[in-house]
A = this chain, B = another copy of it.
Amino acid sequence: MTFETSLIDSALRNWRSNVDRVDKLFGNLPQEQLLQEIAPGKNRLIYLWGHLTAFNDALIPLLGFGSRTFPELDLMFVSNADRTVPTILSGGDLKIIWQETSQILLTEFSKLSAADWLQKHGAVSEQDFLREPHRNRFTILLGRTAHIAYHLGQAKLSERAQTT
């Protein structure tokens, strides 16, 4: 491996590790438990899982891999707060969508060279990117990994034992 590919390999390992933790934490919970709040008055587990799924799905166009597969997730899990939208998806639906979007992302990630990772992401103009070249795909990957970890920490609080 070159230095570049080793650095990218580390970032992809960190991404996969956090995605795997989401699978383990949410993937096997019955619907009844998914409907529980992580703490009194806070978001329910299903909302956090849907929120992370919507963000993963939105990465597909942001990183230039194609169109979103489930844009309807945003109304349920991003632009509206938990418990304000009457119909949201079940855990079974989310599991399928989470796995499908995760697979698309991993497949596309594996095709990118270092130069590709350092290209601009979809939400920055060519002009802004000239001034701010750090607004690239790699920065998005790292930021979104931290975003998954942020909500994993919250979801973990729903478990009974005290954990850090």
A→B interface (CB under 8 Å):
1, 3-4, 6-11, 13-14, 17-18, 38-43, 47-48, 51, 78, 81-82, 114-115, 117-118, 133-134, 136, 138-139, 142-143, 145-154, 156-157, 162, 164
Number of this chain's copies in the complex: 2
Question: A36 → chain B, closest Cβ, in Å?
Answer: 13
A153 is contacted by which of B11, B78, B138, B153 (Cβ under 8 Å)? Answer: B153
- A152→B134 CA distance, assembly (Å): 24
Chain B residues whose C-beta falls within 8 Å of the C-beta of A48 in the assembled complex? 164
Is there contact, CB below 8 Å, between A147 and B145? no
Chain B residues whose C-beta falls within 8 Å of the C-beta of A11 in the assembled complex? 7, 11, 142
